[in-house]
Amino acid sequence: PRQAGKKHDQSSRAHSSQPSPSSEQKKREREERLDIVLWKKPLITLQYFFLETLLNLKELTIKLWHRRRIVVSLLLLLALLTSAYYIEGAHQQYVHYLEKKLLWCAYWVGLGILSSVGLGTGLHTFLLYLGPHIASVTLAAYECNSVNFPEPPYPDQIICPDVEGVEGSISLWTIISKVRLEACMWGAGTAIGELPPYFMARAARLSGEEPDDEEYQEFEEMLEHAQTAQDFASRAKLAVQNLVQKVGFFGILACASIPNPLFDLAGITCGHFLVPFWTFFGATLIGKAIIKMHIQKLFVIITFSKHIVEQMVALIGAVPSVGPSLQKPFQQYLETQRLKLHHKAEGAPQSENWLSWMFEKLVIVMVCYFILSIINSMAQSYAKRLQQMSSEEKTK
């Protein structure tokens, strides 16, 4: 009997180690969906994209109809705000001030959300927008000895005020205070951008369905092979997962407060283990919008402070052979920026910087790739609907 039991256990293990027909079918269907992209099947992809868009609009309309009281209330509030915006009166100065601040905040929140999404490429909008903005304010503050830049043209363009400050009056805290609003809004946007992995994993756990997401599938595989993980990347992911799961709020806060490429895993972990929404989002918001944002601000401000920049340019010039030729463009650029701050570059010919040209083209390419990835993703979602419908018909 013992030998028979051993044989039965061995056969059951061998059977369990083999992939089941359903898992093979899911894998095959997933591969079929991944082939639906614009550069392989453009007509089918566009057709599925439009059909998925129509279905999403239909679902949205049904949801809004079920919440029609809230929708009517919001429309009435919007009508009141529109009337206040267009009716002349003493309140207009406050309306315009509020409009300017709201648009400014929405701009940085949007960039923060796109930073978490990655524009489909994983490239950080901090390096593209917020970092250069903080660097420009830092350089201008030390040059003007003031942060009271005229508005307008600030923030579109930075020029020194007519009455400049006293030499040495600029402190680190002064610059931090000047860029605090946009930095915190960007951080809040990155926190909002971390919500999709959380909601996806939470919905998958509550419904029992496996979502069509690579990161979630990697997370489930990591849980299955937690004891046998040997490589550094797997151990790092397990450490993040254990920290978030066992410590809770403060574990999430610790992960969100430092530059952490594995934070998506923290959102998936919180969703999978049904961590309350406000525990996850509150810790993420505090960590990203306050703690992490001040660390990043300090780094940029210190790096672009006046004496550090001068030392960096001097070090470039000290490089043997090529140093002076490399140093000259940096000196010219800094001198041009200094003249612009003091209104002395208006009559000078404006030559287009090749770096700015490349930056603009890079952003355009990123945005186009982001749009293409959305079209492909929605087309694949519609293909998944069709596969589910066909499997349901087969089971009937």
Confirm if 29 and 21 have CB atoms less than 8 A apart: no
Per residue, the 3-state secondary structure of the chain, as one string, reads CHHHHHHHHHHHHHHHHCCCHHHHHHHHHHHHHHCCCCCCCHHHHHHHHHHHHHHHHHHHHHHHHHCHHHHHHHHHHHHHHHHHHHCCCCCHHHHHHHHHHHHHHHHHHHHHHHHHHHHHCCCCHHHHHHHHHHHHHHHHHHHHCCCCCCCCCCCCCCCCCCCCCCCCCCCHHHHHHHCHHHHHHHHHHHHHHCHHHHHHHHHHHHHCCCCCCHHHHHHHHHHHCCCCCCCHHHHHHHHHHHHHHHHCHHHHHHHHCCCCCCHHHHHHHHHHCCCCHHHHHHHHHHHHHHHHHHHHHHHHHHHCCHHHHHHHHHHHHCCCCCHHHHHHHHHHHHHHHHHHHCCCCCCCCCCCCHHHHHHHHHHHHHHHHHHHHHHHHHHHHHHHHHHHHHHHHHHC
Lowest mean pLDDT across 8-17, 213-222, 321-330: 8-17
User: Which pLDDT score, from 0 to 100, does residue 351 have?
Assistant: 47
User: Which pLDDT score, from 0 to 100, does residue 369 have?
Assistant: 80
| Those residues with Cβ within 8 angstroms of residue 174's Cβ, 6 or more apart along the chain or in another chain | 141, 147
What is the pLDDT averaged over residues 142-155? Answer: 81
Spans of all domains in the chain:
88-211+230-304
Instruction: Give the residue with greater pLDDT, 300 vs 315.
Output: 300
Q: Is the per-residue pLDDT at 13 higher than 80? A: no
The tens digit of pLDDT for each residue in 333-350 reads 666 666 666 655 444 444
**How far, rounded to the nearest angstrom, does the alpha carbon of residue 112 sit from its chain's CA centroid?**
5
When mean pLDDT is compared over 41-55, 158-172, 264-278, 322-336, the highest value belongs to 41-55
| Those residues with Cβ within 8 angstroms of residue 42's Cβ, 6 or more apart along the chain or in another chain | none
pLDDT, the chain, mean = 76
Give dist(CA 149, CA 133) in Å, integer. 14
User: Which pLDDT score, from 0 to 100, does residue 162 have?
Assistant: 77
User: Which pLDDT score, from 0 to 100, does residue 224 have?
Assistant: 57
Instruction: Give the residue with greater pLDDT, 18 vs 200.
Output: 200
Confirm if 333 and 309 have CB atoms less than 8 A apart: no
- Whole-angstrom CA distances from 327 to 48, 109, 238, 312 are 54, 37, 46, 10
Q: Give φ, ψ of 134 to 5 degrees.
A: -65, -40
What is the pLDDT averaged over residues 47-53? Answer: 91
Confirm if 229 and 221 have CB atoms less than 8 A apart: no
Closest to 251 measured CA to CA, from 226, 221, 218, 287: 287
Hey, what are 25's tokens? 């079918």
- The owner of tokens 């043209």 is 153
Q: Is the per-residue pLDDT at 38 higher than 50? A: yes
Query: What pLDDT band is residue 132 in, cutting at 50, 70 and 90?
Result: confident
Confirm if 108 and 186 have CB atoms less than 8 A apart: yes
Closest to 299 measured CA to CA, from 79, 149, 99, 131: 131
User: Which pLDDT score, from 0 to 100, does residue 73 have?
Assistant: 94
When mean pLDDT is compared over 29-33, 89-93, 104-108, 160-164, the highest value belongs to 104-108
- The owner of tokens 């340019």 is 313
Closest to 272 measured CA to CA, from 225, 238, 234, 223: 223
Give dist(CA 170, CA 147) in Å, integer. 8
- The owner of tokens 């959300």 is 113
